Amino acid sequence: MKIKHVAFGFFWITIVACGGAGSGVGAKDYSSLGFVQWKKANGGNDHWYKAVSQTTSISWRDAERLAEGLEGHLVTIQSDEENTFVSGLVSDSKFWVNWSGAEFGPWLGGRAPDNRVNPTDGWNWVTSEVWTFTKWVPGEPSNGGSAKNENGLQYARQASASAPFSWNDVASSGAAENAGGGVISYIMEIDGIRPVTP
């Protein structure tokens, strides 16, 4: 077990990570909850994934709480292979909001501290897994938007582009910003790592 304190938004959260990829979650079947397994037999890790869309915007934190309620967390992406698999779950247009020729997609489990100096500073995964692999859209992270405080991670793509998708930083409130329509979807992962958000 390891404990890590992470500054995010106006809160300090404590992450307690128990077990890990090898803790036997692969043996449990989450398909009845709508999760699909990236099987080791297919080059995966036996983790379970589920993408959810809704008609209204949702914040990063609320999406993370929903994932934790199902023994998981927002998805963490550790490799190009995992990014490709996860991307394949959200090709449908219901996961995306179109704005100004680009489309903005589901929350991922990365976040950055408030008011960081450089857009690439301070990124981490909700599980405290190492932040090594990245798949930013060219020009991102930008820490742009009206508040200049884009501290949540989401997928973005050119309109109707196919998977695999790349990453954008956006305000973690998930609310509509400028002419954008907000963030209306999120992707969960169950892998035996349990972030605890008080």
Q: Which residue, 140 or 177, is less far from Ca ion as judged by CB?
A: 140
Q: Which residue, 12 or 196, is less far from Ca ion as judged by CB?
A: 196
Largest separation between any pair of C-alpha atoms in the chain: 45
Q: Take residue 146 and report the two structure tokens written for it.
A: 């009206």
DSSP 116: -
Q: Which residue, 103 or 140, is less far from Ca ion as judged by CB?
A: 140
Nearest-approach distance from CB 117 to Ca ion, in angstroms:
16
Please identify which residue in 37, 57, 59, 76 interacts with Ca ion, judged by CB under 5 A.
76
169/154 Cα distance (integer angstroms): 6
Which of the ranges 51-59, 62-70, 84-92, 137-145 carries the binding residues for Ca ion, by CB under 5 A?
Answer: 137-145
Q: Which residue, 71 or 140, is less far from Ca ion as judged by CB?
A: 140
Q: Which residues contact 42 (CB under 8 A, 6 or more apart)?
A: none
Please give the helix or strand (H or E) that residue 172 lies within, else none: none
Q: How many CA atoms lie within 13 A of 174 on its CB side?
A: 24
Please identify which residue in 23, 120, 128, 142 interacts with Ca ion, judged by CB under 5 A.
142
User: Which residues here bind Ca ion, judged by CB under 5 A?
Assistant: 76, 140, 142, 150, 168-169
